[in-house]
Amino acid sequence: MIDQYLTQTATLMRPTALAADGSRTYESSSITCRMEPKNRLVTNAKGEEVTSKARLFTTTKVNIGDVILHGGREWPVVAVFERWSMSAISHYEVYF
């Protein structure tokens, strides 16, 4: 149902390893999505309340700590919410 609104694409980067110099390596894949500016107070993984700058809708599972490349910018994921239909996950709301 939400698929008709997912008219954009972005690159999902998942951390795969930590290099000896402290930098992260990522595995990337293309996802369909809809991204929009949205200021919202969300709770991050540390339990702190932070103000998000944007949100993204997608049917692809996204995790806190992933990075989204969209519009020439890297967006680190700070919060993810599963949105359910009657008995299954419909989509994910991702906040940056």
pLDDT tops 90 at residue 20 = no
| Residues 30-68: tens digit of each pLDDT | 999 999 998 999 998 899 999 999 999 999 999 999 999
pLDDT, the chain, mean: 94
Domain extent at residue 50: 2-95
CA distances from 11 to 41, 73, 74 (A): 25, 10, 9
pTM of the model as a whole? 0.88
CATH code at position 48: 2.40.10
Tell me the backbone φ, ψ of residue 64, rounded to 5 degrees. -60, 135
How many domains are there within the chain?
A: 1
